A = this chain, B = another copy of it.
Amino acid sequence: MAKQAISTPVIRRLPRYYRFLGDLEREHVERISSRELAQRMGFSASQIRQDFNCFGGFGQQGYGYHVKELREMIGKILGVQEHTGVILIGAGNLGKAIAAHVDFEKRGCKLIGIFDNNPLIQGTSTANLPIMPMESLQTFCELHCPQVAVLCIPKDAAQQLADQLIALGINGFWNFSHFDLRINNPDVIVENVHLGDSLMTLAYCMHRNEVETL
């Protein structure tokens, strides 16, 4: 369908389209023009049409886009109907919150295992899953073949653990450790999330006027 590789900016906008189209569907809007959607999302109409046309024509001249149909198409592109196996490593504050708060299933993923090396919390449950000891990791992976690992572990443990997980068949990382994972293997996908960086960007913008008149 797609003629050439989709650029990163386009990919990063897809989930946002998906979300907004979901809102529209909930509001029982049947059709929408690129102009209206643009206004709602703060994009330009041109950009929206360009983006959608990366994947083929979803619209109809003179009419616009059919909301439900378009949302389904984008959902399919994003793979929301998949069931990619996900494990989470590190059930501290953040790990537990992500396990409980993120709706993996709506995003084509399924959280199937949680691991932590702290014996005090092993055996307790989060998000209806028992927290398992790290020693069980290998057996678990061999049995259930998860593809994605969520890393909620300290900075220093990240690189080594990532290598270990790749050996166990993991080829996607959602990395919340304060460490920029970089994997040579092009088949391994890494999504680094740096909450601290996000806060610093906000903090910079808050006092930017002072900075720029130094």
Contacts and interface: CB of A to CB of B under 8 A. Distances in A.
Interface of A: 1-2, 5-6, 11-12, 14-16, 18-19, 41-42, 77-80, 82, 84, 92-94, 96-98, 100-104, 106-109, 147-148, 171-172, 174, 178, 180, 182, 189, 191, 193-208, 210-212, 214
A15 B193 contact: no
Contact of A195 (B11, B18, B82, B98): B98
A105 to B, nearest CB: 11
Nearest first, the 6 A-B pairs at minimum CB distance are: A97-B97, A15-B197, A1-B214, A191-B202, A15-B200, A93-B97
Given A1-B214, A2-B211, A79-B211, A15 B201 contact: yes
Contacts of A203: 78-80, 82, 84, 107-109, 148
B196 A174 contact: no
A75 to B, nearest CB: 10
A27 B42 CA distance: 44
Given A80-B200, A101-B195, 18 more contacts: A1-B214, A2-B214, A6-B208, A15-B196, A16-B180, A16-B194, A41-B180, A79-B203, A80-B203, A84-B203, A93-B96, A94-B101, A102-B195, A108-B200, A109-B199, A172-B205, A174-B199, A193-B195
